[in-house]
Amino acid sequence: MPPAPGHADTHQQDQQQDPQQQEDASASWRALGTLVQLVVTEPSCLPAARTLLEADLAEVDLACSRFRPDSEILNLQASTQVSPLLAEAIAVALRAAELTDGDVDPTVGAAMSAIGYDRDFELIKQNGPAARLTVRTVPGWREVRLDGRTLTMPSGVHLDLGATAKAWAADRSAARIHRQAGCGVLVSLGGDIAVAGPAPEGGWRIRVQDVTGAPEETPQGPYALIAIRDGGLATSSTKARRWQRGGDILHHILDPRTGLPAEPVWRTVSVAAGTCADANAASTAAVIRGRAALGWLAGLGLPARLVDATGVVFTVAGWPQEAPQDAQPQDPRQSESAQK
CATH code of the domain covering residue 211? 3.10.520.10
Domain containing residue 241:
19-337
Please report which helix (H) or strand (E) contains residue 300, including its range: helix 293-300
For the chain, 340 residues long, give each residue's pLDDT as a single digit of tens: 444 433 333 332 222 333 434 445 999 999 988 899 999 999 999 999 999 999 999 999 999 998 789 999 989 988 899 999 999 999 999 999 999 999 999 988 776 666 655 545 554 456 665 566 665 777 899 999 999 999 999 988 889 998 899 999 999 999 999 999 999 999 999 889 999 999 999 899 998 876 555 556 666 666 788 899 999 999 988 766 654 555 555 446 888 888 777 788 898 899 999 999 999 999 999 999 999 999 999 999 999 999 998 889 999 999 976 544 444 443 434 455 544 4
CB under 8 Å to 227, separation ≥6 — which residues? Answer: 9, 10, 11, 12, 13, 15, 202, 203, 204, 205, 206
Q: Residue 31 domain-assigned?
A: yes
Burial class of residue 88 (count of CB atoms within 10 Å of its CB; 0-12, 13-18, 19+)? middle
The reply to whether the predicted model has a pTM over 0.85 is no
Q: Residue 107 domain-assigned?
A: yes
Please report which helix (H) or strand (E) contains residue 165, including its range: helix 165-181
User: What interhelical angle do 165-181 and 84-99 show, nearest 10?
Assistant: 120
Strand 304-308 to strand 266-273: parallel, antiparallel, or no bridges (unpaired)?
Answer: antiparallel
Q: Residue 258 domain-assigned?
A: yes
CB contact burial 136-163 (16+ within 10 A = b; e otherwise): eebbbbeebebeeeebebeeebbbbbbb
Query: What number of other Cβ atoms are within 10 A of residue 331's Cβ?
Result: 22
CA Rg value for the chain: 19
Q: Residue 309 domain-assigned?
A: yes
The domain total for the chain is 1
Q: Residue 2 domain-assigned?
A: no
Query: What number of other Cβ atoms are within 10 A of residue 3's Cβ?
Result: 25
Q: Residue 14 domain-assigned?
A: no
Query: What number of other Cβ atoms are within 10 A of residue 58's Cβ?
Result: 12
Rounded Cα gap, residues 214 and 195, in angstroms:
19
Q: Residue 240 domain-assigned?
A: yes
The answer to whether 323 and 196 are in contact (CB under 8 A) is no
Q: Residue 5 domain-assigned?
A: no
